[in-house]
Chain A
Amino acid sequence: MSVITSAIFEVQEFTLLSTRAVTNLFKKPRYIQDTLVQMDIIGVGSLLIIILTGFFTGGVLALQSSKSLKAFGAVHLTGQLVSLSLIKELGPVLTALMIAGRVGSGIASELGSMVVTEQIDAMRALGTDPSKKLVTPRMLASTTMTPLLTVVADLLGLVGGWLVSLYSLKLNSSLYWNTALRSLDYNNALEGLIKPVVFGFIVGMVGCYFGLRTSGGTRGVGLSTTQSVVTASILVIVADFFLSKIILELQY
C-alpha cells in the first residue's frame, strides 16, 4: 500500500470509528457506569496538572506581557491581555495538550494492551460491541470533561496573573480584575468553550483509534501510545487554527 492510500485508509477508519462512537449515544445498551468512571479518571484525575498548568501560564503571561505593555505605557491593561489570551487561546489549547499527554496516552495504552492480550476479541466473543463499551464512554467523558477542565485552567490562570500583577508589577487588584473581566464578552467566552469540546473529542477519539489498531505485542502498545499523543497534539493545534478562523469569520 502506498503512503497516500494508507493515509486515506487511516482517515476513513478514524471517521468510521468516530461516527460509530457518536451514533452509539442513541443506541442501547448504554454504559452509563463506564462513562462515569471515565469522567472521574479524565476529569478529577487531571485536575492537579490542569491547576498547575493554568496557574503558571497566567503568571508567566502577566510577567512577559508587562514588559511590552510598559513600552506603550499600558501596564494597567495586563489583566485584559492575560484574560483574552488565556480564555480564547492558551486555556483551551494547553488544557487539550495536557489531556492528550495524560489521558490520550492512557486510553491508547489501555486499549492497546487489551488488543494484544485478546481482551477486545474476548469482549466481542461475549457479545459486547467494544465501540459501545469502550470507545463511546471515553469519547463522551473526554468531550465533556475538557471544557470543564479548561474553565478551571482559565480561572487559575487569571489568579496566577493577578498574583504576579499584585506582587511583582505592583498593580492595583481592582484594576487587574476590572480590565480582565470587562474585556470579556459573550463571544470570547463562547469561543473559549467551543474549542475544548472539539479538542476533547479529538483527544478521546485519537486515543481510542490508535489503541484499537494496535498490533505486534507490547512494542506495538508503546508505538500506539506515542502515535496517539503526537497525532492528538498536532490535530489540536491545527483544529485550533481553523476554529479560530471560522469563529472570527462568523463574528464579523
Chain B
Amino acid sequence: MIAIRFERVTKMFDDQVVLKDFDLKVRKAETKIILGGSGSGKTTILKMVLGLVKPDQGRIWVNDRDITDLSEDELMDIRKEIGMVFQEGALFDSMTVGENVAYPLREARRHTPEEMEAAVRRLLGFVGLADAFDKMPSELSGGMKRRVAIARAVVHRPSIVLYDEPTAGLDPITSRTICDLVIALRDLEGVSSIFVTHDLSAATTLASEMAIRESSGQVTFRSENNEFCLANTRFVILKDGQIIFEGTDESLDTAEDEYVREFLT
C-alpha cells in the first residue's frame, strides 16, 4: 500500500512557483526526509497531504484515496488518519498539556474519560513528559512543546505522521530525543511519515538508526554502521520546486550534484 502519493503536482503562490511537476511516493512504514532551503515548498507539501492547501495541478492520494478534489467535510475523515507535528508545536494555549494530547480522542467522541486519560498519560510517558499533564503550554520550553506536539499527533494512532522541522533550533540532546521518537514510531508502530527539515544531523540519525524492541520489552537503537543499509528511510532534496535528489543516506554521500554537495557541507 502507498500511504502518500503526489503525481505531477504544481503549486504557485501569486506568481511564485513553489512546486513544479512534483512526484513523491511514501510507502507504508517508510520515512521520506525532505531537505531544502527556506521557501523551497517543504511545509506546503505537508499541508497538501492534509488538504490544508490545494494543488493548482496534479493529483494527491492518501492511503490510496484521491484527496485532490475532496471538500472540507470529506477531508475531515482523511485527516483523522494523519498526525502532524507543526514547526513550533502549535499547541492550543487555552488548554493544559493533558487536554491538548487528549484533543484528537475527545473529538472522536468514542472514548470514556478514563480511557482518554490512560492513553494521554501513556503517550506523555513515551515522550518523557509524564509530569507535564496539568501544565499549560506557556510553562513549557520549545523542545517540550514539540514533544507534546508529537504525543498529540500520534495519540489517535494515525497511520501517517508529518513532521515540520521538529528539531529546528533545539539543543542536540532534545533533538536526539525527538529523533528517537520518530524512529520508534517508524520501526515499532509501522507509521509512514514525511520529515521536513534542514537539520542535517537529525536527518542522518533518522536514516542510519533503527529501533528494536528487546524480548524484555525495552526499546534499543542500533546504528547501521557498515553492517546493513536501512531501506525504509530515504532523502528527498528540493530545489526550485523540483526534486534534484532522491535516495538513501549512502547514495547521498556519493551524490555529485553541485547543489546537493553544497547543501551537505
User: Is the C-beta of A119 less than 8 angstroms from some C-beta in chain B?
Assistant: yes
Closest approach, in angstroms, between the C-beta of A150 and any C-beta of chain B? 28
Q: Are B76 and A129 in contact (CB under 8 A)?
A: yes
Q: Tell which of A29, A119, A126 touches B79, judged by Cβ atoms closer than 8 Å.
A: A126
* B90 interfacial contact with A, CB 8 Å: yes
Q: Which of A98-151 contact B (CB under 8 A)?
A: 114, 117-119, 121-129
Q: Are the CB atoms of B52 and A121 closer together than 8 Å?
A: yes
Complex CA–CA separation, A237 to B52 (angstroms): 37
Cβ-closest chain A residue relative to B76:
A127
Give the residue name and chain of the B residue nearest to A124 (CB). B52
- Bound: A126/B78 CA distance, A: 10
* Residue among B47, B87, B92 making CB contact with A119, cutoff 8 Å: B92
The chain A residue sitting closest to B149, CB to CB, is A122
A-contacting residues, B65-94, CB 8 Å: 72-73, 76-77, 79-80, 82, 84, 86-88, 90-93
Q: Tell me the residues in window 129-162 of chain B with beta carbons closer than 8 Å to chain A beta carbons.
A: 152
CB of B76 within 8 A of CB of A119, answer: no
State the Cβ distance, B199 to closest chain A Cβ, in Å: 19
Q: Mark B83-117, 1 if CB is under 8 A from A, else 0.
A: 01011101111000000000110010100000000
* CB contact between B80 and one of A114, A122, A127 (< 8 Å): that residue: A127
B3 at the binding interface (Cβ < 8 Å): no
- Residues of B at the A interface (CB closer than 8 Å) are 47, 50, 52, 72-73, 76-77, 79-80, 82, 84, 86-88, 90-93, 103-104, 107, 109, 152
Q: Besides the contacts A123-B92, A124-B52, A125-B52, what 18 more A-B pairs have beta carbons closer than 8 Å?
A: A114-B92, A117-B88, A117-B93, A118-B87, A118-B88, A121-B47, A122-B84, A122-B91, A125-B50, A125-B82, A125-B86, A126-B79, A126-B107, A126-B152, A127-B77, A127-B79, A127-B80, A127-B104
What are 24 sample pairs from A and B whose C-beta atoms fall under 8 A apart? Answer: A114-B92, A117-B88, A119-B90, A119-B91, A119-B92, A119-B93, A121-B90, A122-B86, A122-B91, A124-B50, A124-B79, A125-B82, A125-B86, A126-B103, A126-B152, A127-B76, A127-B79, A127-B80, A127-B104, A127-B107, A128-B76, A129-B72, A129-B73, A129-B76
